[in-house]
A and B are shown apart, each in its own frame.
Chain A
Amino acid sequence: MKNARIRLVAVSIFLTALACAPEHRGNTFTEPPPPKGASVLTTLGVSVPGTVVVGQSTTATVTGADQFGTTIATGPVVWSTLSAAVATVNGNGVVTAVAPGQTQVVATANGLSAQAAVTVVQVPVATVGVTPVTFSLVVGTTQQLTAVTRDAASNVLTGRIVTWAASDQSKATVDANGLVTAVAAGTTNITATSEGKTGAAQVVVTSSCTSANALQLGVGGMHTLTATEKAFLCLGGGASASEYALIPFNSTNVAASTTQIQITGTNTSGIQPGSLFSIQTNRMTGLRQNKRPLVKSFEWSFRERERRDLASAFASVRRLPRPTSAPLGPRFLTNIPASPTVGTVVQINGNLSGNACTAPKVLRGATVIAVLNKTIVLSDVTSPAGGYTNQEMIDFGTAFDTLGYGLDTLNFGTPTDIDANGHVAILFTPSVNSIPAPPGAVVGGLFAGRDLEPVGVCVASNEGEMFYMPVPDPNQTINGNYAVESEVASHVLPTLVHEFQHLINAGRRQFINNAPTAEEIWLNEGLSHIAEELLYYRMSGNTPGSNIDSVLIRSSQAQLDAANAYQVDNLVRAGLYMRAPETNSPFGQVDLLEMRGAIWQLLRYSADRKGGVETNTWKALVNSTTSGQANFNAVFGNIITNARDMAVAQVADDAGLGLAANFTNPSWNFRSVMPLLFPPYPLLTHTLLSAPVNITLYGGGAAYLRFGVAANTPAIISGNASGQAVPSAIDFILLRTQ
């Protein structure tokens, strides 16, 4: 019995020894089967995805089986790799690829071990970008290309092997480092390949840039560059030196569309002193910029508040029954009697802060100062002391009644008369003074569209045709912006004709012409600035189309006074636009003074270009059922064509270049007038030399690059956009100026 026990123990020891001597079977290790009946871990297996990209992780899994082949839990597992330089593994079996190579992931559990191979590969190249993408070379010259390899997430991949090739080596060759050498005239593609991915560039090889094959323009000659020429233009180099203006113009009809381009000159030079734009006029006392800028673009947050309710109100009013025949009858109750008595006080909502349409009424007593032929003059009883006298207000009203009213109705049409009183009311009120404005700026006055709406849909409406005008505040009880009466007074008549255009425009579109919406702001404001210009013509005795210059403006005190009183603001706004023509547009949607200057210039230019009876032109714009560019296009033709040609006129008009009428400003000699306000000339220009000129162009925007070309040495002009071809929407217009 004892021997039997000893034998059993010996067998057990033997079996145990066998169990502790695992047998290697590939990536699994199997122990000898334990005694029947007990399930013991005998097999361990490891599984790992065979290939992992550097920087990425994967999870290894381990499985165990007993002597019966049944899967069982392995118990605690210890993980390791044979080369941590290639891949690491943490306690949870998460394998992280470190560097390209191969290694083994090892799992140990319950005395058993197993391992699996892991191959780490580098991040694959997904794209190859080549810059510049398009370029031109003269035979014998070179261009270094750059290839950037990126992964699928656009991360730059460094250290990748890139192979360069030229599709037609008879035109250009490329070396192993991407240096392209032009061989012969023609076009070929250069490719850069890495890990099977290819990027490409195109090179246009020209035979050479010599005087013989260069573009030659006479003085005043103009040329619109082709797509190829925008990338490479060989220019000039004739027997005499020449000077040029290159005008990139963004012909996209969306002002906010921004495109960036880069232009480089080779063998170009600066312009000579005394040439175009460098003319110094004899400066003397002349036009003056108003000390306080007239602000008709209100504080941004204020406008945001307006937008919500006015939209709602307009929609509601559009559903009201419209008159089917003239004359218009009264539609609403009104706060202004049809025949008010001078000296009586009427109640007017003077709340111009907050939301114009739905803000609660703040009724203010308004004394009837005068009842004129077409105008009622009202004075807010809360006006600060020391302001306008009654006679001064009557004089303002009379000037509008006898001049402004007729001027605007002649050019824009008869206003509505929703209150059936046959009058337009002018309320002089400190409510305007209280409108937020930048320090030192003034609001010249305003027309509120709410007043054309019934109170049923626009509770703040005064239900009648009226304007709001600021009052002098010499004691600065509200703010310091309106302290000087003469400054405040100087804006009254121009502002009234400006606002009257808005009133006529809004009323006629809404109630007479059944336009689906109000006019777009840029065109609406442009028309009101035209109204100011028309007032200037009336007051000065000058006429459109007479190429008004500084000599005429300074020919008499009366001429100078008229320009200072009625036109200088238009000229200042135009000057501001000329200072930044690249990032402003005549049809800009953001209401800026620069946009105002641009659209005034464009409307004037386009009216001159169109010709015919000018009053018909303005009436056509105001009495349209379309709006914005559609309205403009119907009256003047394509707005892009007009804006592009006007952009040329900015540099070419009155420069003695003898260009066609489309490139002139018949009414104004800006080259002569602008130096009085912005000496020597406000137009923003760049000098194009060898250093690249980077330009940001808005839709409708234009840039001006000036350069000279020496005699017998042609220059090369090349443009690109982010290293690629200049988009077709960007026109390059070249003008020889000397």
Chain B
Amino acid sequence: MLLGILAPLMTAALGCTHPAPKPSVAIEADSLTGIVSITGTSFEQQLVLRSGNTATLLSAAPSDSAALSRLGGVEVLIVGRRDRNHLSVEHFTALSVAGVPVVDGVVRNYGDRIVLETTRGPLPLGNPPAGLRALTGARVWIGGPLNTGPNTYGMIVPAQ
């Protein structure tokens, strides 16, 4: 945590005399991409992010834990704070499923059009499967061409 605060300050200071300072290593380390897996037993579960041969243990608030546990097998980008050997999750985004890129967002239904609200703006869904239409208000990931379909999808957070 301390490193995460100091490193950007140091970088900024160095930037006064050195051109093009590199991004803070600490900040990069706080963002991890990998595939989520849920390990342990039914009684005791751990969330793990696998990236190549590296496994990083995740800790998260209960709501995020529940969401991440639905993303088992999904490649995600996790932003958080590294605390020794585990990453404390602050937020995350689904990236790909079985190697196919996906979009992470909330399903909205505006009359006859279905839109996926993402952090980069709304994305209209031209031909969503019926099951996806029923998930209005839910955070999901969607794969396949959004304009024409067919689309695969998976639940991240159910509609409230």
Contacts and interface: CB of A to CB of B under 8 A. Distances in A.
Indicate whether A and B interact.
yes
Given A154-B125, A724-B148, A308 B153 contact: no
Interface string A580-599: 00000001011100000000
A610 B115 CA distance: 47
Interface string A297-325: 11011011111111110111011000000
Interface stretch (A205-213, A400-408, A442-450): A442-450
A722 B113 CA distance: 15
Contact of A724 (B41, B48, B127): B127
Contacts of B97: 252, 254, 257
Contact of A521 (B39, B115, B125, B155): B39
Nearest to B115: A154
Contact of B66 (A300, A311, A446, A447): A300
A307 B45 contact: yes
A667 interface: no
B44 A589 contact: no
Contacts of B126: 127, 129, 150, 154
B19 interface: no
B86 A311 contact: yes
Interface residues of B, number: 55
B38 interface: yes
Candidate in A254, A300, A304 with the most chain B CB atoms within 10 angstroms: A254
B79 to A, nearest CB: 17
Contacts of B74: 254, 256
A694 B126 CA distance: 20
Interface residues of A, number: 72
Contacts of A723: 127, 149
B118 interface: no
B84 A518 contact: no
A303 B71 contact: no
Interface string B120-136: 00001111111100000
Interface string A513-525: 0001111110011
A310 B44 CA distance: 7
Interface stretch (B5-13, B25-33, B53-61): B53-61
A525 B41 contact: yes
A314 B73 CA distance: 21
A133 interface: yes
A669 interface: no
Contacts of A736: none
Contacts of B41: 446-447, 449, 502, 506, 521, 524-525
Interface in B74-126: 74, 84-86, 97-98, 112-113, 115, 124-126
Given A156-B113, A256-B71, A256-B154, A298 B43 contact: yes
Contact of A627 (B39, B69, B127, B150): B39
A305 B44 CA distance: 9
B42 interface: yes
Contacts of A214: none
Interface string A46-72: 000000000000000000000000000
A627 B38 CA distance: 10
Interface string A488-506: 0000000000000010001
A309 B59 CA distance: 7
Contacts of A304: 62, 65-66
Contacts of B61: 308
Candidate in A133, A627, A722, A727 with the most chain B CB atoms within 10 angstroms: A722
Contacts of A724: 127, 148-150
B124 A253 contact: no
Contacts of B151: 722
A210 B98 CA distance: 40
Contacts of A446: 41, 43
Interface string A615-652: 00000000000011000000000000000000000000
Contact of A306 (B44, B58, B148, B150): B44
Contact of A311 (B59, B124, B153): B59
B127 A129 contact: yes
Contacts of A506: 40-41
A590 B153 CA distance: 16
A155 B112 CA distance: 7
Interface string A15-32: 000000000000000000
Interface of B: 37-48, 54-55, 57-62, 65-66, 69-74, 84-86, 97-98, 112-113, 115, 124-131, 143-144, 147-155
Interface of A: 127, 129, 131, 133, 150, 153-156, 252-260, 296-298, 300-301, 303-312, 314-316, 318-319, 356-357, 446-450, 502, 506, 516-521, 524-525, 587, 589-591, 627-628, 694, 696, 699, 721-727, 729
16 contacts: A254-B97, A255-B72, A260-B130, A308-B59, A311-B47, A311-B58, A356-B43, A357-B44, A516-B55, A520-B37, A525-B41, A590-B69, A628-B37, A724-B150, A729-B98, A729-B152
